[in-house]
Amino acid sequence: MRQTTDALIIRENNNIGEADRFVTALTRDFGVVRASARGARNIKSRNASATQLLSYSRLTLYRGREKYIIDDVEPIRIFFELRSDIEKLALSQYFCELAGVLAPREEPAEDFLRLMLNALHFLGNGKRDPRQIKAVAELRMLALAGFMPDLLACAGCGAFEGEEMWFSAREGLLLCSRCRASRPGIGLTPMPGNVLAAMRHIVYSSFESCFSFTMSDEGLALLMRQTESFLLSQLNRGFKTLDFYHSLSPGMADRGGNSVAAEQKSPPAGS
């Protein structure tokens, strides 16, 4: 049965046959799906540009034995502007890899798709700092996937704020200075007030406003480290696309232990 849904292409692999393109798509109605677009590698094919990485398209699919087949495709928006900036492209590929890991399969994923499209839109128009976009995409996507941190109050005494607050990336909880001693060995890092306020906003605000806040340059750097540390701790894995992104910006190196050689200057294969 043919089914139509909107989708963002989050991965492409051209090494399937002579003319077909094998893709992974984040769809509105079916979550993450693997699909084959017949003849899409032919430059004269109407499926060519609409099934490339970072293309937002309307797909008509039918289910094959092991994957979906793209029967028809209509481009809605292709994020060409992200392909001309290597750092923005690297960050976009990281978001795509995250979505491929966190978004559901065979279930509706409208919120994941909206988050991805907004992140790519803001990254493309240059009106928000990439570090801010990265932090929002990481933390909000984790929350959607069931890894929401408890940022409401101290997990020990219920204090909303204190002179010093501490955060456990492993446990996903806050502790005040008085309660810190009651949880030894859980790996706590300082949580400055402005970073806590930003993380609360990202997690608890409406979808329409989750990208809308301002921070100092120093605050954004701390926020990005905190959200990335939380993500890597919760998922207990690394991301090649994240390593590559950090290789382009050595001053923003991953505090979670991931690194790549500085001379690597091409995106990870298959992304």
Q: What is the pLDDT along the chain (271 residues), one digit of tens a residue?
A: 789 999 999 998 765 556 678 899 999 999 999 998 876 656 656 667 888 999 999 999 998 777 899 988 999 999 999 999 999 999 999 999 999 999 999 999 999 999 999 999 999 999 999 999 999 999 999 999 999 999 999 999 999 998 899 999 999 999 999 999 888 888 999 999 999 999 999 999 999 999 999 999 999 999 999 999 999 999 999 999 999 999 997 654 443 334 322 233 445 544 4
**How far, CA to CA in Å, does 148 sit from each of 83, 131, 200?**
31, 20, 11
Q: What pLDDT was estimated at residue 255?
A: 39
Q: What pLDDT was estimated at residue 253?
A: 43
Q: What pLDDT was estimated at residue 261?
A: 29
**How far, CA to CA in Å, does 38 sit from each of 15, 21, 45, 126, 228?**
13, 7, 9, 35, 38
Please name the residue that has the structure tokens 């993500």: 231
Q: May I ask the CATH architecture of the domain 128-265? A: Up-down Bundle (1.20)
